[in-house]
Chain A
Amino acid sequence: MFAGQTAKTLPWMPDDACIARVEGLARTHRAAVHEVLSPVVAAWHPKFRVESAAEFDKMIELSTKMTLVGHACAEVVGAPFGAREQRIAALYGGCCFLADSFIDNFGDAASRDYLRRFDELFLSGWFEVRTDRERLFYVLAARLFAERDMLEPMVRQATLKLHAAQSLDALLRIDPWRTTDLTATQRRALFKRVARDRGGHTILLLTVLVAPRLAPGLVAGLFSAGSLFMYIDDHGDFFTDRRDGRSTYMNLLRRPEPALHRIVTAHFLTILAKLPGNEGRDALLAILARYYFTRIDKHRVQEQGGGTAWDVYE
């Protein structure tokens, strides 16, 4: 049983050995992520760790989660996960965290400008560095590009698909008029698809970064796992997202917790059907189960006492 686990049952639950393995990997990867990211932050944006300590901690946690999931995905694919793959996953986590922060945290005008500049980065490779935070992002991205052939067709496509999903998510928040003509059902369907694609493409990109040969038979199971991470995440951030004026599929629902349980159950069944039974699949399901239970707690805590986007629930 995980700490905070409710009586709800899932189609698959990890045994004690699997939970212990995942918790051990989380500790190892957290230390490795610190080793990869802290010196870069110290060199290129030292104030980030001092003046935005909570945000820095959140970046470490997100990158640890990314590394843990990357490890599980590599095992699913049957690829090795050594120091290089650990470094790639940590750098990818750092890039995702900072890119999200540019789009979400500096107002609508800045969001539009960053979306345009990311378009330019992917179209031409140019990114004019204007602030210390941008410099940190660019250095992490450059190190990631140096570790992996970013021109490999599947890496390029996964990068662009993720960017497109993130852009649509941001534009729906910035331009509410885009959904005013939709019925409530259509809006929920649109936001559900946005969450599916954001999470799905995030995990596909992570997988092709750490495990270059991705067999087609594994794509749907991994995509489903990535989407589930996003639904769980959005349920955990239900109240902070509403407070920040950000609509998500989860916070458009009147009774999100039972809906999430149905989604988790369906996705677990898909993952069990689509991915081969191995240590990687078990680790991925165990991480998802732990994430589900901790985010149910986060939702309840924030319902009662509020909270911030930087709160770490691990």
Chain B
Amino acid sequence: MKSIKQLLGGDTRQYGMVVALIALIAFFQIKTDGKVLTSTNAINVINGNAYVFIIAIGMVMVIVIGQIDLAVGSVAAVVAYVVALSIRDWGVPWWVGVLLGLLTGMIIGAWQGFWLAYVGIAGFITTLAGQMLFRGIQQYIGKATATPVPKEVKYLGSGVLPQWGPDTGLNNSTLLLGVLAVAFVVWVEIRKRNKLRKLNASVPPIYLPVIRIVILAALIGYATYLFGSGSTAAGESLSFPVAGVIVAVLVIVYHFITQRTPIGRAVYAVGGNKIAAGLTGINVRRTYFLTMANVSFLAAIAGVVGVGRSGAAGGTDGTNWELDAITAVFIGGAAVSGGIGTVMGTVVGGLVMAFLNNGLNLIGAGADITKITKGLVLLAAVAFDVYNKSQNKPSITGALARGLHISRGKKSDGPAGPSEVVTPDPAGTASK
């Protein structure tokens, strides 16, 4: 449980959502006679939702600073056309086209960030305007005409890692990723123990990290098998999708930025209390600017991956992408009022929606039923969260985890006596 906790940036409220995700996958796995956890379907889920994860990573930061970005779908749509048109009509190499697309995203991001940070127009309004503005630009430059992209760009959105080397029975690229991931888990555990020793703190019994490593390695091993064992109908080896690698790299990078760097701290500080952040020496405007600019940049990446998956830029690109991302963020435990939300939680939120969509597709529920279900799930997830917060206690699983961990319980320093810890004002903080 603790490793799940660490996986989620220490946010106990996320246990519930992880359990819900596992239950969801299990439910559909049974309901569809095992069609959810197959190589091809797992790849489909990753590829089909890569854009959600990529945008949601940036969106969670925007929501943490207490803003929202409604323009990301339009931005991605513009970028899709910039990439497709520059390659087709200007004849630039594919990677130049992709770079042009990312540059477009950065310029748009700077534009959005400027209005919010330096003119002081609320993000909702700035990006509502941006949603129209960039959708219009997309229609102007694209004329709703399907514009194909070359196979290299398609590889970014729909390809899988290549097979090479000796026949191991699995795809070797995926196998390598799996081995690296397990090695990382082991390294983290060893490093943690060494540190505790150095600090002369009590080192937990050896079986605990071993159990953690075994559980995580089993999970990674299963994922490696899932992604690496399949083959297409034509007999080509399947592997971990390229878009999945892009998502994974972005998740790791942004998890690190938000949790371990001063700029990440600034994002949470501004979201939690803008005035206090300013009086602490944080440049509030710069934080606003960078956060807004960043989500447009990520939307550009999503646009590239999206156009790669569909094979061509088209008129409906990016429709409702902002809502998909915002949904993932809120299911992932972020608060509308700002200050709360994590990249890891958002990934879990995105996975919940992805597997829900996929499972409903697999059982043949129509678009109408799918929409109804998704709406209810969003409401239920957030209601669950609000209820937990109003009760001022973590979810059941969180409580369980705490029970297992003595360290949070009865340690007592200083003089004995009544603790000064008081309950937070329910009206004041429950809504945060």
Are A and B associated in one complex? no
